[in-house]
Amino acid sequence: MKKTLLAVPFALASCLAVAPALAAEPTDLGAGLSLSGNATVTNDYRFRGYSQTDFRPAAQLGFDLTHTSGFYLGNWNSNVSSAVYTDGNLEMDFYGGWKGDIGHGFGLDVGVLHYYYPGSSSPKGGNYNNTDLYIGGSYANYSLKYSYTPGDFFSTPNSKGTWYLDASANFDLGDGWGLLGHVGYQKLKNATDTDGDDLGHYVDYKLGVTKDIKGWVFGLAAVGASKDNWYNTKYGHPAGRLGILASIQRTF
């Protein structure tokens, strides 16, 4: 079944939490600039608890250009399901901002992220797209990030002003092992679930482990959403139901 209106939203810059052990050396371009990349294969692409690929595999590729001043630009790409983004099967994310240490062990990250789905057909006409403004803070193994959508959320009419709060933690267990945890709160505007009931918000979660083997990071995590039927897969299953993510990631 093709998704329309509030049954269609989203996708994000990364469905995988990365182990603390994962740290490839970026390529020095000179003038304070560095370039790095990342590639991932996973059995499902989840964004804020919901599958973007109908519980099917995804291949993902990203690049980051950073400057010693803290400014950065990046691009990240993944296949998605045309049942979620009508007539579209590719997500392209473009982002930029500033990230750095602000003292006493605290980090700050501010920027803008634009999602684009070439070839898709949105309820507003044209391709699906979305722009988020974000601000995040980190301390030790913990991070907190707030994202706000000033326009209509993923080209869904009358959905301006949605926001998302993401709390995450990553722990290095030694010998290449990592532990990750995440909980998020999604606030929605004028959304309904597949039963026609009002859906003003939901909570998503993730808990998993990673293992770094010579730069290849293998991940296994449980992921889902407290309200799992915002929309269904094309096979009629709640797209936010509890599931297991298995992944392999490499940075370069």
Phi, psi of 162 (to 5 degrees): -75, 155
- Quote the pTM value: 0.90
Identify the CA nearest to 45 among candidates 251, 194, 247.
247
Q: How far is CA 220 from CA 6, 100, 180, in A?
A: 30, 30, 10
Average pLDDT on 86-96 reads 98
Domain at 5-251: CATH architecture:
Beta Barrel (2.40)
Query: 67-80, pLDDT tens digit by residue?
Result: 999 999 999 999 99
Residue owning tokens 């094309």: 234
Distance CA 171, CA 182 (A): 12
For 45, the token pair is 């692409």
Report residue 24's pLDDT band, with 50, 70 and 90 as the boundaries: confident
CA nearest neighbour of 107 among 134, 135, 133, 139:
139
Query: Among 2-6, 136-140, 142-146, 238-242, which stretch is predicted with the lowest mean pLDDT?
Result: 2-6
Reported as a pLDDT band with limits 50, 70 and 90, residue 84 is: very high
**Where do the domains of the chain lie?**
5-251
pLDDT in tens, 243-252: 999 999 999 9
Q: What is the 3-state secondary structure (H, E, C) of the chain?
A: CCCCHHHCCCCCCCCCCCCCCCCCCCEEEECCEEEEEEEEEECCCEECCEECCCCCCEEEEEEEEEECCCEEEEEEEEECCCCCCCCCCEEEEEEEEEEEEEECCEEEEEEEEEEEECCCCCCCCCCEEEEEEEEEEEECCEEEEEEECCCCHHHCCCCCCCEEEEEEEEEEEECCEEEEEEEEEEECCCCECCCCCECCEEEEEEEEEEEEECCEEEEEEEEEECCCCCCECCCCCECCCCEEEEEEEEEC
pLDDT value of position 23: 55
By CB neighbour count within 10 A (0-12 exposed, 13-18 middle, 19+ buried), where does 205 fall? Answer: middle
Q: Is the pLDDT of residue 22 over 90?
A: no
* Distance, CA of 211 to CA of 221 (rounded, Å): 12
Per-residue model confidence (pLDDT) at position 204: 98
**Is pLDDT of 155 > 60?**
yes
Per-residue pLDDT band at 14 (split at 50, 70, 90) = very low
Closest alpha carbon to 54 in 30, 90, 84: 84
Q: Residues 210, 218: contact at Cβ < 8 Å?
A: yes
pLDDT at 4 over 80: no
Q: How remote is the C-alpha of 102 from its chain's centroid?
A: 25
Give pLDDT tens digits for 176-204: 999 999 999 999 999 999 999 999 999 99
